[in-house]
A and B are shown apart, each in its own frame.
Chain A
Amino acid sequence: DVKVTQSSRYLVKRTGEKVFLECVQDMDHENMFWYRQDPGLGLRLIYFSYDVKMKEKGDIPEGYSVSREKKERFSLILESASTNQTSMYLCASSYPGGSYEQYFGPGTRLTVT
C-alpha cells in the first residue's frame, strides 16, 4: 500500500514568514507533485519533480520553490508567506509509466495571517 505523508495537517503562519511543507512517500516513486486546492478552482499544480534534484514549474509557481534532495522527500517552500497563499496544499507521487495513478497525501491546511 502506497503511503504519502505530509509534515503537518494544520499550520498557521504570519505574513512574511518562510514556510516549509514536507512530503514523504514510501513507494520509491520517481514523480512527486505539489498542488494547492481552493474551492471552485480544483487542484492546481505548483511544482513537480521527476527525479532527485530535478524539478519543473507547474501552472502557479510564483511565490513558491521546491527541494528534492532525496527520492522519497519533496519539500515546498513559501519564501515569504502572504495571505493569498492561505490554502490546502496536497502532495502526490506516482510511478512513471504503468498506471500513472497519483497517490495523494492527507493535505496541509495553511493559514497565513
Chain B
Amino acid sequence: GENVEQHPSTLSVQEGDSAVIKCTYSDSASNYFPWYKQELGKRPQLIIDIRSNVGEKKDQRIAVTLNKTAKHFSLHITETQPEDSAVYFCAASNAGGTSYGKLTFGQGTILTVHP
C-alpha cells in the first residue's frame, strides 16, 4: 500500500518568513495530493490540493508543488502570520476507480509562527 513520509515534524518561523513542508510518497499510482490544516482543538480542513497532471498550484499565500518523478510534493507558505500556526498534514490517494477516495496521511508538521 501507499506510504507517505512528512518532514519536518516541527517547524518554527518568524512572522513574515516562508515555511516549507515536504512529503514523499511510495505508490506511483497516486494521483491526488491534498493538504489539510488542523488548528488547535479543531478538525482538519482541506487548504489546497494538487492532481498529478499539474506541477504547481497557488492560492494566495499558499502553494503546492509536485515532482512525480521523484515522488515528492511540498507545501509553501509565504509571508507567514500567527494564524498559520497549526498542524499540517499531507496526504496521497489513487483517486478514482476502487480507491473510494481513501487517503494515506503523513505524520503531520506542527508549524509555529512567532509574532
- Within 8 Å by CB of B100, from A4, A31, A43, lies A31
Instruction: Give the contact-size bracket for chain B.
Output: 20 to 34
Chain B positions 76 through 96: 1 when the CB is less than 8 Å from some CB of chain A, otherwise 0: 000000000000010001011
Instruction: Give the contact-size bracket for chain A.
Output: 20 to 34
Q: Given the known inter-chain contacts A42-B6, A42-B106, please indicate yes or no for A107 contacting B32, CB distance below 8 A.
A: no
Q: How far, in angstroms, from A96 to B102 measured CA to CA in the complex?
A: 10
- Within 8 Å by CB of A104, from B6, B43, B95, lies B43
Supplied contacts A42-B107, A42-B108, A101-B49, 6 more A-B pairs, CB within 8 Å:
A31-B101, A42-B6, A43-B105, A45-B102, A59-B1, A102-B46
Residues of B at the A interface (CB closer than 8 Å) are: 1, 4, 6, 9, 32, 34, 42-46, 49, 89, 93, 95-96, 100-108
- List 10 contacting pairs A-B, 8 Å CB cutoff, sorted by A: A31-B101, A33-B102, A43-B108, A45-B104, A48-B102, A58-B102, A59-B1, A99-B49, A100-B93, A102-B103
